[in-house]
Amino acid sequence: MEAIAEQKSIYLQAYEAHSAQVEESEWLRRLHRNGIERFEAQGFPGRTVEAWRKTDLGLVLREHFPPSSGPGSVASNLVEKVGALGQAHRFVFVDGWFDADLSDPGDLPNGLTVVPLSVCEERIPAIMRETLGAYADTATHPFAALNTAFFRDAVMVRVARGVALAQPIVVVHVLTSEADRHAVYPRTLIVAEEASQFSLVEHFVGAEEVFTLNCPVAEIVVQQGANIDYYKVQEEGGGSAHLGVVHAEVARDATAHIHSFACGGKLARTDIYANLIGPGADATLNGLYLTSGRQYCDHHTWVNHKAEHGTTRQLFKGVLQGRSEAVFDGLVKVFEQAQKIDAQQQNRNLLLGKLALAHSNPRLEIHADDVKCSHGSTVGQLDDEALFYLNTRGISLDEAQCMLTLAFANELLKPIRLDALCQYERRLLLQRLPGAEMAGEMS
């Protein structure tokens, strides 16, 4: 107990020291204070907290991560990654701070507003001020609370009513070696106004050896009839910890496609909340995770059907190598008034390493009586018969394994509607597989 009490006070002390130094608007100060109070009220989760039972936070709890105090310098290999997704409205944050030089907003069309908080704190539109922090659950999620207490910069995106963007928005979050043993708190707010349509990618990259606690929170508000594709690509260096939250609020007849791709960090967890609050809301939650060595990767999802005629599709697939470990834990909750909804949830894991371990925990909680819900999970290895079949056609074992693994992952690569991103994730997968030279043109 003592240790926990001490951990709390370290973060509180850091907060107090920090907030004494910075000048900020009252609304922001209130938001930050609320965050630290919420964190203090709950502390870090112990292993008895159901949602954190499988996640070994030892790595994060053993030491204190003060917030990064400013942007570090970005090494050339990371600069390359910044541009990896091609043509886009690109906004780059380094160790949590907006970097105008690396960013390339391009021509912002009418109806698209992207505001880095640090650039124009005073001029933030009221709608965004009110929305920021309105959804992420700081009361029960300790890392959402920490983020809310400590974020200093943020990217705030608004797409106006009826506007369809031709180009995707790409937000790159870079961790440099100066963020070693520090915490970074990226914060994102996305407001898709009525009947708007666009794609947004959050891309998390980082220096290989640094040990950073990366705690991003994204709040996504999808208003009536809007259509958003949100992609999260998590590939920090192998030493980091990533504890992220994505919260989507989906209104009447709106569509949210959320795709999480995770392959970086030593400990990585993404918690996705999707609230379907209006009739006919539609949400897709897709996840593809690749782990190797001793990586730990975790996806938790909470899908709340709060209105009738909603549809949700969840498909999470893992490719596990080495002695890595992965968790999928998903709850679909159907509220009493949410009749005629259709919710599906699938988790499939492919174990390529004999010592790899996959946990799967799909859950349903149904309070309505006229709904369609299904869930399932599998953990398996590559099919020996299929491998032999490919061998008898002259294809080597490595190539055959690569081909079948790619086929397994393809189900999640195919729905990616940004070609550059699809190719990029595919390359990240192939880099991990022996026998990948031949897989160049597989479709």
Partner 1 sequence: MALLEIRNLHARIQGVEILKGIDLAIERGETHAIMGPNGSGKSTLAKVLAGDPSYEVTGGEVYFQDRNLLELAPEDRAREGVFLGFQYPVEIPGVSNTYFLKAALNAIRKYRGEKELDAMEFLQLIKERAKSVKLDEALLRRPVNDGFSGGEKKRNEIFQLAMLEPYLAILDETDSGLDIDALRTVAEGVNSLRSEERGFLVITHYQRLLSYIIPDKVHVLLHGRIVKSGGKELAEELEGSGYALFDEAAA
Residue whose CB is less far from partner 1, 370 or 441: 441
Decide: 162 and 194 in contact? Cβ < 8 Å. Answer: yes
Residue whose CB is less far from partner 1, 128 or 400: 400
Decide: 248 and 226 in contact? Cβ < 8 Å. Answer: no
The distance of closest approach from Cβ of residue 375 to partner 1 in the complex, given in angstroms and rounded to an integer, is 21
Residue whose CB is less far from partner 1, 368 or 422: 422
d(CA 299, CA 278): 25
Please list, residue by residue across 298-334, b when 16 or more beta carbons sit within 10 angstroms of its beta carbon and e when fewer do.
bbbbbbbbbbbbbbbbbbbbbbbbbebbbbbbbbbbb
Query: Phi and psi for 361 in degrees, rounded to 5?
Result: -140, 75
Residue whose CB is less far from partner 1, 378 or 396: 396
Instruction: Give the residue among 355, 354, 291 at the shortest CA–CA distance from 327.
Output: 291
The distance of closest approach from Cβ of residue 317 to partner 1 in the complex, given in angstroms and rounded to an integer, is 11
Residue whose CB is less far from partner 1, 58 or 394: 394
The distance of closest approach from Cβ of residue 199 to partner 1 in the complex, given in angstroms and rounded to an integer, is 24
- What does the binding site for partner 1 look like in residue numbers (CB under 8 A)? 383-386, 388-397, 399, 403-404, 406-408, 410-411, 438, 441-443
Cα–Cα–Cα angle for 99, 104, 109, rounded to 5 degrees:
125
The distance of closest approach from Cβ of residue 110 to partner 1 in the complex, given in angstroms and rounded to an integer, is 41
The distance of closest approach from Cβ of residue 418 to partner 1 in the complex, given in angstroms and rounded to an integer, is 21
Decide: 114 and 190 in contact? Cβ < 8 Å. Answer: no
Q: Which residue in the block uniquely carries the two structure tokens 């933030």?
A: 124
Instruction: Give the residue among 55, 147, 155 at the shortest CA–CA distance from 105.
Output: 155
112-116 and 325-334: which strand pairing?
Answer: unpaired
Residue whose CB is less far from partner 1, 192 or 413: 413
The distance of closest approach from Cβ of residue 411 to partner 1 in the complex, given in angstroms and rounded to an integer, is 7
Residue whose CB is less far from partner 1, 110 or 392: 392
The distance of closest approach from Cβ of residue 289 to partner 1 in the complex, given in angstroms and rounded to an integer, is 18
